[in-house]
């Protein structure tokens, strides 16, 4: 194993409760409601183009309008989340261990660069990562594997030497399609939901250390 790649929302930070609040408020502003079931099906792990298309399914929107509407929601999210940004438990110690072991690391998120920079810089995590990828760096969002393939290219590693941490089914599909090993983080889905689709699953990073990661890699190899 030479590299570990992290999704951001639901992996580095448990933003889903705040995304749910932001999207629910945004839906209400546009005369719609967003149930928890709809959040899991249409929002969690999805790119904003998909979410906006669902919200405005009765309208024909130009690409610029889709971008503007998505940006409005993300600005609302950052306003809500900025005062309470907290890493998923055990993350920082795990990142320190990876760095000490010489394992290369990246973030590969479907979020806009503004969200990525808000999280990474507020938590002072930039020194722990060798590459940071956001939605603007790919043409095809998750579940397409492009962002994970690009992360591996930037890190100079093969899929067989890579482990991805993901929380959503969309992200897991992308990591699988990129041929990486996958660890599910149970912030969004339950262990039962994750288990059939991942190589291992954790509540948070207090469950994970280098020995467990190496055992997973050895079994998967």
Cis peptide leading into residue 19 (ω within 30°): no
Q: 28 near 38, Cβ under 8 Å? A: no
Cis peptide leading into residue 216 (ω within 30°): no
Q: Is 36 a catalytic residue?
A: no
The gap from C-alpha 113 to its chain's centroid, in whole angstroms, comes to 13
Side-chain half-sphere exposure of 134, counting CA atoms within 13 A: 12
Given 7, 14, 161, 167, the catalytic residue? 7
Q: Is 144 a catalytic residue?
A: no
**Residue 194: Cβ within 10 Å count:** 23
Catalytic residue numbers, as ranges = 7, 9
């Amino acid at each position: 194993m030479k590299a570990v790649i992290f999704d951001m929302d639901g992996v580095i930070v448990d933003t889903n409760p705040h995304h749910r609040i932001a999207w629910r408020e945004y839906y209400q502003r546009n005369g719609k409601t967003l149930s928890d079931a709809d959040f899991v099906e249409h929002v969690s792990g999805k790119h904003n183009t998909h979410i906006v298309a669902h919200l405005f399914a009765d309208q024909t929107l130009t690409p610029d309008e889709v971008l503007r509407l998505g940006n409005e929601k993300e600005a609302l999210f950052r306003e809500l989340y900025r005062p309470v940004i907290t890493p998923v438990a055990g993350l920082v110690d795990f990142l320190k261990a990876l760095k000490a072991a010489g394992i290369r690391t990246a973030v590969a998120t479907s979020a806009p660069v503004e969200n990525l920079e808000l999280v990474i810089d507020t938590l002072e995590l930039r020194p722990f990562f060798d590459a940071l990828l956001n939605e603007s760096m790919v043409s095809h969002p998750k579940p397409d594997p492009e962002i994970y393939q690009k992360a591996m290219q930037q890190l100079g590693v093969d899929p067989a030497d890579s482990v991805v941490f993901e929380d959503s089914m969309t992200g897991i599909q992308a990591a699988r399609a990129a041929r990486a090993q996958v660890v599910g983080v149970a912030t969004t889905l339950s262990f039962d939901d994750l288990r059939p689709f991942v190589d291992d699953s954790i509540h948070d990073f207090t469950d994970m250390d280098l020995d467990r990661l190496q055992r997973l890699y050895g079994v998967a190899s």
